[in-house]
Amino acid sequence: MNDLTQPGMPRTAVDPMLPLTLAGVGFAHRGQHLLHDIDLRLGAGRTLIMGPNGAGKSLLMRLCHGLLTPTSGTIRWNGRVPNPPLALRQAMVFQRPVLLKRSALANLTYVLAIRGCPRRQRKARAQAALERFGLAQLAQRPAPVLSGGEQQRLALARAWLLAPDVLFLDEPTSALDPAAIRAVEEAVDHFHHSGTKIVMTTHDLNQARRLADDVVFLNAGRLLEHSPAERFFAAPESSEAAAFVRGELPW
Ligand SMILES: Nc1ncnc2c1ncn2[C@@H]1O[C@H](COP(=O)(O)OP(=O)(O)OP(=O)(O)O)[C@@H](O)[C@H]1O
C-alpha cells in the first residue's frame, strides 16, 4: 500500500472531506452529560475552539477525529459517516505529543513505513519534513530529550508527512515560550496554505485573533456560538463569550 499523497497536497479537490457536520451530538460518561446537543458545520479554513477549562473543547475534537464515539447525534464528513479511509486523511497533534523513543528522524521514517512509503524514499522525505519545521540539526537526537517546542514541531512534521486534509491541534502551544509559539504558528500556516483544514483549541486569545477564520465557543458542554473570527471578537453574541473575550471567565 502506498497511501501517501505528496505532503502539502491534500486530496480535498478530488474527494472533498468537508463540510464536517455535527447534528445533535452529545457525549455522556457514567451518566454525566459532558457535551449537549451540538449542531455545527465546519467548512474550509482555520477553526479555533475556545472556552473555559472543562468546557468540552478537547472532547469535541476527539469526537470529530473519531477517537471517541458520540452517545447521541451524528457526525458526517461531506455527508459520509466516519470510516477508516476517512480517518487516514486526518491527523491530530496533542498538547504533549506521543513520540517514539527513537531519533527525530526515525519517528518520521516509522510513520512513512507504516503508511506504505517505499523504503528508498523514506529518509529523504523525512529529512525534508525536518527541514521544513526547522529540525534538520536535530535529526539524530532522541525524541524524548527534545524540548517541548521541538517535540511539538516534530509532531507537526510527522503530521505533515501524512498530508492530512484535516489537522486537529489540541492546545499545541500551551507550554511553550514565545519563540516556540511563533514556530508552531508558522507550522500551522504551512498546513493552512497547503489547503489543510485546521481545527485547533487554544486558551490564548491573542493567538486566536492571529490565527482564526472562525471561532467555536463552548461553555459547560454547550455550543454557545460559532461565528467568523472578526465578529466573534468584535461583538460576541452570548454574555458568556463576551465575558470570555474580556478575560473575565475563568480559564
Ligand atoms: N474520555 C472521557 N471520559 C469521561 N470524562 C471525560 C473524558 N474526557 C473529558 N472528560 C470530562 O469532560 C469535561 C470536558 O473535558 P475537556 O477536556 O473536553 O475540556 P476542555 O474544554 O478541553 O478543558 P481544558 O481547557 O481544561 O483543556 C471535563 O469535566 C473532563 O473531566
53 Cβ inside 6 Å of ligand 1: yes
Count of CB atoms situated within 10 Å of the CB of 179:
9
Atom index in ligand 1 nearest the CA of residue 203 equals 25
220 Cβ inside 6 Å of ligand 1: no
Q: Cβ distance 28 to 34 under 8 Å?
A: yes
Q: Hey, is 181 helix, strand or coil?
A: helix
Q: Cβ distance 173 to 207 under 8 Å?
A: yes
What residue ranges do the domains of the chain occupy?
Answer: 98-163
The closest residue, in CA terms, to atom 18 on ligand 1 is 56
Q: Distance between CA 100 and CA 203 in Å, rounded?
A: 28
User: Residues near 105 by Cβ (< 8 Å), separated by ≥ 6?
Assistant: 123, 126, 127, 130, 139, 140
State pTM to two decimals. 0.92
Kindly give the confidence (pLDDT) of every residue in the chain, 251 residues in length, as a single tens digit, with 9 standing for 90 and above.
344 555 545 555 678 999 999 999 999 999 999 999 999 999 999 999 999 999 999 999 999 999 999 999 999 999 999 999 999 999 999 988 889 999 999 999 999 999 999 999 999 999 999 998 889 999 999 999 999 889 999 999 999 999 999 999 999 988 788 888 898 899 899 899 999 999 999 999 999 999 999 999 999 999 999 999 999 999 999 999 999 998 886 54
219 Cβ inside 6 Å of ligand 1: no
Cell of 221: 458542554
For the chain, count helices (H), then strands (E).
Answer: 9, 9
Pocket test for ligand 1, best of 25, 50, 58, 69 (most atoms within 8 A of CB): 58
Strands 32-42 and 72-77, by their bridges, are unpaired
